[in-house]
């Protein structure tokens, strides 16, 4: 597998291109780094290839907040300008007046 440069950045708000959720990126894996069981649980016709960046999101949909692991091919930049309501956002990020997020000191790996 060859590693690719990540298209999105930590602190960027993104949305899923198929499913109705969005979130703030808090970590990036250069290639797939989850269990084979997780990967195989994705329906084959929707299963992303492993040799692309995968993003850890503090995610939300209309009903709940959660952590998501999403391939780059399934993400789009969120242009809504709406804040992300996930409760951990305030623990990990500072928010700028323009709606962007920046990791707080001590939150990097």
CB 81 within 8 A of CB 99: yes
**For residue 109, what pLDDT band results from cuts at 50, 70 and 90?**
low
How far, in Å, CA of 45 to CA of 60, rounded? 24
Q: Which domains does the chain have, with CATH numbers?
A: 13-103 (2.30.30)
Whether 107 shows a pLDDT value over 70: the answer reads: no
**For residue 108, what pLDDT band results from cuts at 50, 70 and 90?**
low
**For residue 83, what pLDDT band results from cuts at 50, 70 and 90?**
very high
pTM for the model stands at 0.90
CB 88 within 8 A of CB 58: yes
Whether 72 shows a pLDDT value over 80: the answer reads: yes
């Amino acid at each position: 597998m060859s590693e690719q440069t990540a298209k999105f950045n930590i602190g960027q708000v993104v949305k899923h291109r198929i499913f109705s959720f969005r979130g703030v990126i808090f970590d990036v894996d250069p290639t797939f780094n989850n269990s084979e069981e997780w990967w195989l649980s994705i329906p084959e016709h929707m299963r992303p290839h492993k040799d692309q960046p995968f993003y850890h999101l503090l995610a939300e949909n209309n009903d709940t907040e959660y952590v998501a692991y999403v391939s780059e091919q399934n993400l789009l930049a969120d242009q809504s300008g709406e804040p992300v309501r996930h409760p951990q956002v305030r623990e990990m990020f500072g928010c700028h007046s323009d709606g962007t997020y920046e990791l707080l000191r001590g939150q990097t790996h």
